[in-house]
């Protein structure tokens, strides 16, 4: 019959298994980061190429496509290494569905590239296709962050997801700005969209800061070169000032270079974050294994005791305490220690995960609009974003307001 | 290389695996229910025995102990059947730690019974030991409810946990009332504690009603015999009325019988709930398997297509759509369908789980008091309950207030 101690050991094994799974997921997140980075650049280059009617970046584009293909192969190989047969990955149903979506979008990429090369797709439509694919890739990262059971690792994954999301808004700003400068004109609606992208970046970076380590915050601060930031803000000011209408198409190149410089610096922070994530997983596994070993030693001692090892002279055998008084006390302590540790972990985890709720609110509001207004996912998101921009409110606040109105939306159905 | 479709299939497999695990956990919950029921009765009988200085229930007690031992053996056998080696049970770390605690408490039961038989333990202390063990058993049920990933099953598990918790408060009322009547006297503090037990039952049964099916609500209503309820309320009124001081010890037997009649009726509802839970798990597995089969058929069709099956005359082979136009559309639909289904499940799950937050709040507040006030778990709970009784507030509200005061509690430390 299994003892309490053997269940403590089983609990530790589950913990170690969770940690090993987190290590694999963290490695996957890292590979996703590489592909996202390459795609963000391809999106920017494609936009300049399309915006300038093929006059700019005609040479860089195929080179960047090749880089993307390499990163895609690397990611597909990582997907192939995932254990999809066992069916016992916690959160597996969600994670694998997200991956299925990503693979479906990746399969459509060659066709999109043909359209871009032939210049028979609008810059905005090409951007939208890239945005959709990258959003799918970030959704995989989100599921990883949402499934972590260790609070410290969860904190780093939340920092990672928000940093990647912030970097994606920077990438969208690069692509949007590149197309706008290249087209030689802007208007108030574009300016509003631009400002929204800037605010979205800042919010994500704030969450990253909140959940990150001091070293990573320091790396992020020092990576933001003052010269690059000054040039970035100057070009933003030119494009977003009230008097703007006509823009100098030549600024497209400066804008792209300056954004790229900044985004490449972000990638350095992201890589460092990924390295720390893996190292933290490794530490936690070593620690959990050492504790498992301690438990196993106690169990071995107990089994020796129970198997009739000699009882010291003068020691009364205590029938009510199955492990002997000393072992019984140490097991009770272990049980209590483990229970309060798991409780503390669970509390901390809840606090960390709360920061993921913002995204969940937006997802739910989108779902509601899709169901009751018969909108596509993209249009539902656009509707939410437009309301946020018009009312100058946070996207999550608008989502919350939409969810609060759920009954009214449903009542409006035919 | 794995296709998007193969990941959809893997996602389904994970879902089926989760459902099978839920089936096993639900079966375990059922066995726990049997032991809890037997222990509740032993607690009540022990209390009458101790309260009457051994004058009552001296014969019933050993019979009930034997029933408990059988239920305990059944539960230990169920624990033995759990797969503790694989280490991949989702929520395994928490579940197994809870089981370790239960086994530790069960190991101490023979000694408690010796004390009861020798009447060298106070009724209140014996009750406290049983309450602690049953709380540990219910914590296992709670973990099961908290780990369910299917919203419908989660609803039934939440109904189950709350019903079992409500039944436990009924059992505590039976034991408390039995000891009070048997001792022949009461006072205002006991009356207050009694009323608190009544309110706690009502709150749990309300949550059960909210999350249960109409059939189960109907069964619960019809099981509450008017004659039993009238007698229960009459005895409650006698013991709790302001003028009460001396009580007729002979009422101890009527009280015990009437409560037992009611609690046995509750057990019928619990058994039905357990049966519906298992049947729902079975249905969901059949459904998920059918859908998995559909996916596999599509994958087989695609593989046939990719392996050079003849293309109908006049049909142009579309290179950009890897599965052919018909299959590609159906896969995209599958991906979208699965994504929105998982989203809907996740939303519903969140709503259901929110009802488990009340318990989590209390656990967190207890932990805070234990850490900052150096209290035992029991004393921390007593302190919360006393405050709730004094202020006539819900336990969860008091817990929330304590958590809000966390900084003040910490600041008070030496």
**Looking at the partner chain, which of B102, B338, B360 has a beta carbon nearest the beta carbon of A97?**
B338
Contact (Cβ atoms closer than 8 angstroms) between residue B224 and residue B262: yes
Percentage with pLDDT > 90 across chain A: 41
Distance from CA of A299 to the nearest CA of B (A): 13
Would you call A97 and B5 a contact, using CB atoms and an 8 Å cutoff?
Answer: no
A with B: how many residue pairs have Cβ under 8 Å apart?
Answer: 187
Residues of chain B with pLDDT under 50: 308-322, 411-414
Contact (Cβ atoms closer than 8 angstroms) between residue B100 and residue B142: no
Residue A327 Cα distances to A6, A10, A317, A322, A336, angstroms: 14, 19, 13, 9, 14
Q: Which pLDDT belongs to residue A405? A: 65
List chain B residues with CB under 8 Å of A10.
84-85, 87, 92, 96
Note the pLDDT tens digit of each residue in B128-157.
999 999 999 999 998 888 778 788 888 899
Contact (Cβ atoms closer than 8 angstroms) between residue B156 and residue B276: yes
Q: What is the ipTM of this complex?
A: 0.77
Residue in B17, B92, B369, B399 to test binding to A, most A beta-carbons within 10 Å: B92
Would you call B88 and A84 a contact, using CB atoms and an 8 Å cutoff?
Answer: no
Q: Which pLDDT belongs to residue B2? A: 82
CA distance B252 to B174: 10
Would you call A4 and B92 a contact, using CB atoms and an 8 Å cutoff?
Answer: no
Nearest Cα to Cα of residue B365 among B335, B332, B394: B394
- Is B329 in a helix, a strand, or coil? helix
Nearest Cα to Cα of residue A335 among A9, A108, A1, A2: A9
CA distance A37 to A134: 9
Would you call A8 and B100 a contact, using CB atoms and an 8 Å cutoff?
Answer: yes
Nearest-by-CA chain B residue for A4? B100
Local structure of residue A315 (DSSP, 8 states): P
Would you call A10 and B84 a contact, using CB atoms and an 8 Å cutoff?
Answer: yes
Would you call B104 and A17 a contact, using CB atoms and an 8 Å cutoff?
Answer: no
First to last CA, chain B: 62
Would you call B101 and A149 a contact, using CB atoms and an 8 Å cutoff?
Answer: no
CA distance B78 to B95: 14
Would you call A364 and B342 a contact, using CB atoms and an 8 Å cutoff?
Answer: no
Would you call A339 and B101 a contact, using CB atoms and an 8 Å cutoff?
Answer: yes
List chain A residues with CB under 8 Å of B110.
320
Q: Cα A375 from chain centroid? A: 26
Note the pLDDT tens digit of each residue in A209-241.
988 899 999 999 988 889 999 999 999 999 988
Would you call B350 and A360 a contact, using CB atoms and an 8 Å cutoff?
Answer: yes
Return the structure tokens found at A257: 């270079």
Distance from CA of A205 to the nearest CA of B (A): 26
Percentage with pLDDT > 70 across chain A: 89
List chain A residues with CB under 8 Å of B339.
97-98, 101
Query: Apex CA B46: angle with CA B44 and CA B47, to 5°?
Result: 65
Nearest-by-CA chain B residue for A139? B339
Residue B310 Cα distances to B8, B122, B314, B328, angstroms: 27, 85, 12, 18
CA distance A182 to B185: 91
Residue A164 Cα distances to A193, A251, B305, angstroms: 20, 27, 38
**Looking at the partner chain, which of B79, B321, B335 has a beta carbon nearest the beta carbon of A100?**
B335
Residue in A17, A93, A151, A347 to test binding to B, most B beta-carbons within 10 Å: A93
Residue B120 Cα distances to B54, B125, B225, angstroms: 11, 10, 38
Backbone phi, psi, residue B224, to 5°: -85, 85
CA distance A132 to A130: 5
Would you call B347 and A367 a contact, using CB atoms and an 8 Å cutoff?
Answer: yes
pLDDT reading at A317 higher than 70: no
Residue B363 Cα distances to A81, A346, B139, B161, B400, angstroms: 40, 11, 11, 16, 11
List chain A residues with CB under 8 Å of B88.
14, 17, 86, 88, 90
Would you call B92 and A10 a contact, using CB atoms and an 8 Å cutoff?
Answer: yes
Which residues of chain B form CATH 1.10.10.10?
Answer: 357-411
Note the pLDDT tens digit of each residue in A86-104.
666 777 888 898 999 999 8
Would you call B4 and A87 a contact, using CB atoms and an 8 Å cutoff?
Answer: no
Local structure of residue A321 (DSSP, 8 states): S
List chain A residues with CB under 8 Å of B6.
84
**Looking at the partner chain, which of A1, A16, A344 has a beta carbon nearest the beta carbon of B80?**
A1
Between these two residues, A67 and A385, which has the higher pLDDT value? A67
pLDDT reading at A289 higher than 90: yes
Note the pLDDT tens digit of each residue in A20-39.
988 998 999 999 999 999 99
CA distance B414 to B412: 6
Query: Apex CA A106: angle with CA A202 and CA A273, to 5°?
Result: 40
Residue A359 Cα distances to A396, A397, B139, B347, B351, angstroms: 7, 11, 31, 12, 16
Query: Apex CA A333: angle with CA A331 and CA A334, to 5°?
Result: 65
Backbone phi, psi, residue B87, to 5°: 75, 10
Task: Spell out the residues 6+ positions from residue B161 whose beta carbon is closer than 8 angstroms to its own.
Answer: B138, B141, B142, B144, B145, B356
List chain B residues with CB under 8 Å of A339.
97-98, 101
List chain B residues with CB under 8 Å of A356.
none
As its CATH architecture, domain A357-411 has Orthogonal Bundle (1.10)
List chain A residues with CB under 8 Å of B350.
360
Would you call B107 and A364 a contact, using CB atoms and an 8 Å cutoff?
Answer: no
Would you call B11 and A93 a contact, using CB atoms and an 8 Å cutoff?
Answer: yes
For the four alpha carbons of B213, B214, B217 and B218, in that order, the dihedral sign comes to negative
* Cβ count within 10 A of residue A408: 10
**Looking at the partner chain, which of B15, B84, B335 has a beta carbon nearest the beta carbon of A104?**
B335
Distance from CA of A390 to the nearest CA of B (A): 28
Task: Spell out the residues 6+ positions from residue B241 whose beta carbon is closer than 8 angstroms to its own.
Answer: none
Note the pLDDT tens digit of each residue in A130-182.
999 999 999 999 888 877 878 888 889 989 999 999 999 999 999 999 889 98
CA distance B134 to A8: 19
Nearest Cα to Cα of residue B277 among B398, B411, B141, B383: B141
Between these two residues, A357 and A29, which has the higher pLDDT value? A29
Return the structure tokens found at A118: 């032939």
Contact (Cβ atoms closer than 8 angstroms) between residue B26 and residue B275: no
Would you call B7 and A99 a contact, using CB atoms and an 8 Å cutoff?
Answer: yes
Q: Cα A405 from chain centroid? A: 29
**Looking at the partner chain, which of B96, B332, B350 has a beta carbon nearest the beta carbon of A7?**
B96
Would you call A79 and B7 a contact, using CB atoms and an 8 Å cutoff?
Answer: yes
Would you call A100 and B8 a contact, using CB atoms and an 8 Å cutoff?
Answer: yes
Backbone phi, psi, residue A185, to 5°: -155, 160
Distance from CA of A222 to the nearest CA of B (A): 34
pLDDT reading at A260 higher than 70: yes
**Looking at the partner chain, which of A96, A322, A347 has a beta carbon nearest the beta carbon of B107?**
A322
Would you call A8 and B96 a contact, using CB atoms and an 8 Å cutoff?
Answer: yes
Would you call A14 and B92 a contact, using CB atoms and an 8 Å cutoff?
Answer: yes
CA distance A252 to A52: 9
- Is A350 in a helix, a strand, or coil? helix
Residue in B94, B118, B344 to test binding to A, most A beta-carbons within 10 Å: B94
């Amino acid at each position: 019959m299994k003892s309490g101690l053997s269940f403590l050991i089983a609990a530790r094994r589950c913990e170690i298994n969770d940690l090993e799974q987190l290590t694999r997921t963290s490695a996957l997140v890292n590979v996703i980061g590489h592909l996202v980075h390459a795609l963000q650049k391809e999106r920017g280059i494609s936009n300049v190429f399309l915006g300038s009617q093929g006059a700019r970046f005609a040479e860089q584009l195929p080179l960047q496509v090749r880089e993307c293909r390499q990163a895609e192969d690397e990611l597909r190989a990582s997907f192939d290494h995932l254990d999809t047969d066992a069916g016992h990955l916690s959160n597996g149903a969600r994670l694998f569905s997200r991956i299925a979506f990503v693979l479906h979008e990746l399969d459509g990429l060659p066709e999109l590239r043909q359209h871009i090369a032939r210049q028979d797709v609008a810059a905005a439509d090409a951007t939208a296709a890239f945005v959709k694919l990258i959003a799918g890739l970030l959704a995989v990262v989100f599921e990883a962050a949402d499934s972590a059971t260790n609070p410290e690792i969860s904190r780093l994954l939340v920092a990672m997801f928000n940093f990647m999301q912030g970097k994606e808004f920077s990438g969208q700003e690069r692509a949007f700005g590149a197309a706008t400068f290249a087209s030689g004109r802007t208007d108030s609606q574009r300016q509003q969209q631009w400002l929204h992208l800037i605010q979205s970046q800042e919010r994500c970076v704030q969450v990253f800061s909140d959940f990150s380590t001091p070293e990573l915050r320091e790396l992020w601060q020092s990576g933001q070169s003052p010269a690059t930031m000054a040039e970035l803000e100057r070009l933003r000011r030119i494009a977003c000032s009230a008097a703007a209408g006509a823009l100098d198409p030549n600024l497209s190149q400066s804008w792209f270079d300056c954004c790229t410089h900044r985004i490449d610096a972000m990638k350095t922070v992201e890589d460092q974050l990924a390295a720390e994530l893996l190292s933290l997983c490794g530490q936690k596994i070593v620690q959990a294994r050492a504790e498992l070993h301690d438990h196993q030693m106690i169990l071995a001692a107990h089994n020796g005791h129970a198997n009739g090892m000699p009882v010291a002279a003068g020691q009364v055998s205590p029938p009510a305490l199955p492990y002997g008084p000393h072992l019984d006390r140490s097991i009770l302590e272990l049980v209590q220690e483990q229970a309060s540790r798991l409780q503390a972990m669970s509390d901390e985890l809840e606090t960390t995960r709360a920061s993921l709720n913002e995204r969940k609110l937006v997802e739910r509001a989108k779902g509601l609009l899709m169901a009751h207004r018969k909108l596509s996912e993209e249009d539902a998101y656009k509707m939410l974003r437009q309301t946020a921009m018009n009312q100058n409110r946070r996207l999550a606040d608008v989502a919350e307001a939409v969810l609060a109105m759920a009954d009214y939306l449903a009542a409006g159905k035919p």
